[in-house]
Chain A
């Protein structure tokens, strides 16, 4: 079953004889069990050796409302989006051992555009694909849904792509659809500030600035889509106010 989930057998399995298939299945399961930590290794190494030292020394996180952070999934963390650092910084709030239980939604057309970037996105950054620009008949949020069904914490950016630094964009429909499909997963609003100053869209050189992470209470469960959007916007405005005044100009 684990082997099937990992896609080890999906292509060949249907053609095989049942007994052989059971054997392979058992082997795959054992491999997967053995291999799971190995599998997670690139991401753990990247987090421990690159992301966390950079966040600690070059950035500095000022975390508020840590008690609202869901310890385990299924849960949806819904932050604003200004930087590639956003998801990495949120995942860094979890202990390394729990990192495999946290994934972030990333645009399929960007992070998963070819096999090498897809491997990096999945195994180093811990991303799952979201298909932007709907294709009829397919669910663009299938991978996100699967992550929630597996009981993971999903970092999902309701604004879609990264906007101008420190400006919120309109919330799109994905969050409400995911929340409706997974009523068991609480939606936790997270306000991030200054990550767009550290590493904005279109730049690769990070500049040290202290960043705020303000985690809010989960939104009430079972809201219809328009009410969920409104509740999310209100919660984010409140969290932004809690973060204090931002440095101005631009």
Chain B
């Protein structure tokens, strides 16, 4: 055991390791509680598959972080690829743009290569500017004008949410390096601490919103988009995430408790809006889930819908305040 800890401590900062252990411990407690509830026949039907999917995600993340930065970047690249594939499956497209879908897919390895190189300037330009210009240019050269605007918009939107926005989570790993600093210059947990804080707070917000919505929810925020989003859910998520951020962020990030609570509110609000936006896409496409990859959650895009909004805001907050 001490050998294992020494090995892990050689690969990741100690606060990050403790946070990972905390996540796995919380999952173990939730699984135990779920098993007890299921034994009494009182567990919601999707609780156990949902927990199993959380286990897979948490263990994959822990393994990737321990294996090194490159492995973690590749893992997030795979998440982006799967989310993009689900998006391009449910979004309509023109036959004439078939080859362009491959260009959008190509944005995944390019964007994550920029993450691995910690090249922030190009990281924020590639998809919003260069892909944005390349798509309509190639479409115009191909010559099909029918439905041009909606096709260009639909393709670029997919790249923006599944590639650009999500890659901000992975960029947290290299944020200190991109600012020319040593990994642990600003906080003992370094880039991996920032990433874990984002993921834990976004997940906490999702769960707190769900639980508080189920317990107290009555007034719906956007009944035409999603019947499950209630004011009580939103407020419960905001409160839990602000409290969680005030406790966690000072240990894992440069944020002291006060600003961290505000950061929690930001993540709570952004997560809610991300969830709602992806729900609107699903409603538009006439599907309930974006896929079947993660039993209990739906598809990859269902799982990362809130992260699409929280990752860029968290990165910007951390970058402009501390890096």
Establish whether residues B89 and A205, one from each chain, have CB atoms under 8 Å apart when the complex forms.
no
A247 CA to B155 CA in the complex, in Å? 13
How many pairs of residues, A versus B, come closer than 8 Å at their CB atoms? 51
A194 CA to B98 CA in the complex, in Å? 13
Establish whether residues B90 and A247, one from each chain, have CB atoms under 8 Å apart when the complex forms.
yes
Q: Which residues of A contact B93 (CB under 8 A)?
A: 197, 247, 249
With known contacts A62-B292, A203-B98, A250-B94, A210–B286 Cβ distance under 8 A: no
Establish whether residues A207 and B286, one from each chain, have CB atoms under 8 Å apart when the complex forms.
no
Q: Give residues 52-94 of B contacting A (CB, 8 Å).
A: 85-86, 88-94
Establish whether residues B89 and A165, one from each chain, have CB atoms under 8 Å apart when the complex forms.
no
Q: Which residues of A contact B292 (CB under 8 A)?
A: 62
In the assembled complex, the CB of A191 is this many whole angstroms from the nearest CB of chain B, namely: 16
Whether a CB of chain B sits under 8 angstroms from the CB of A67 is no
Q: Which residues of A contact B10 (CB under 8 A)?
A: none
Whether a CB of chain A sits under 8 angstroms from the CB of B224 is no
Whether a CB of chain B sits under 8 angstroms from the CB of A137 is no
Establish whether residues A249 and B287, one from each chain, have CB atoms under 8 Å apart when the complex forms.
no
Whether a CB of chain A sits under 8 angstroms from the CB of B147 is yes
Q: Which residues of B contact A245 (CB under 8 A)?
A: 285-287
A209 CA to B85 CA in the complex, in Å? 6
Which applies to chain B's interface (DSSP): helix, strand, loop or mixed? helix
Establish whether residues B98 and A207, one from each chain, have CB atoms under 8 Å apart when the complex forms.
yes
Q: Which residues of A contact B291 (CB under 8 A)?
A: 60, 62, 210
Whether a CB of chain B sits under 8 angstroms from the CB of A208 is yes
Query: How many residues of A are counted as interface, with CB atoms below 8 angstroms from the partner's CB atoms?
Result: 18
State which of A194, A207, A249 has its C-beta within 8 Å of the C-beta of B92. Answer: A249
- Output the nearest chain B residue to A64 by Cβ-Cβ distance: B292
State which of B85, B92, B147 has its C-beta within 8 Å of the C-beta of A208. Answer: B85
Q: Which residues of A contact B151 (CB under 8 A)?
A: 249
Q: Which residues of A contact B88 (CB under 8 A)?
A: 208-209
Binds A, one of B99-107, B128-136, B234-242, B303-311: B99-107
Q: Which residues of A contact B95 (CB under 8 A)?
A: 165, 200, 250
A171 CA to B105 CA in the complex, in Å? 36
Whether a CB of chain B sits under 8 angstroms from the CB of A7 is no
In the assembled complex, the CB of B108 is this many whole angstroms from the nearest CB of chain A, namely: 10
Q: Which residues of A contact B99 (CB under 8 A)?
A: 205, 207
Whether a CB of chain B sits under 8 angstroms from the CB of A18 is no
- Output the nearest chain A residue to B290 by Cβ-Cβ distance: A210
B92, B94, B95, B99, most chain A CB atoms within 10 A: B95
Establish whether residues B285 and A247, one from each chain, have CB atoms under 8 Å apart when the complex forms.
yes
A209 CA to B89 CA in the complex, in Å? 5
A87 CA to B47 CA in the complex, in Å? 37
With known contacts A165-B95, A210-B291, A247–B89 Cβ distance under 8 A: yes
With known contacts A62-B291, A244-B287, A245-B287, A210–B85 Cβ distance under 8 A: yes
6 nearest CB pairs, A to B: A245-B286, A249-B92, A210-B89, A247-B92, A248-B92, A207-B101
Q: Give chain A's interface residues, CB within 8 Å of chain B.
A: 60, 62, 165, 194, 197, 200, 203, 205, 207-210, 244-245, 247-250
Chosen A-B contacts, 28 in total, with CB atoms closer than 8 Å, are A60-B85, A62-B291, A62-B292, A165-B95, A194-B89, A197-B93, A200-B98, A203-B98, A205-B99, A205-B102, A207-B98, A207-B101, A208-B88, A208-B105, A209-B101, A210-B86, A210-B291, A244-B286, A245-B285, A245-B286, A247-B89, A247-B90, A247-B92, A247-B93, A247-B285, A248-B92, A249-B94, A249-B147
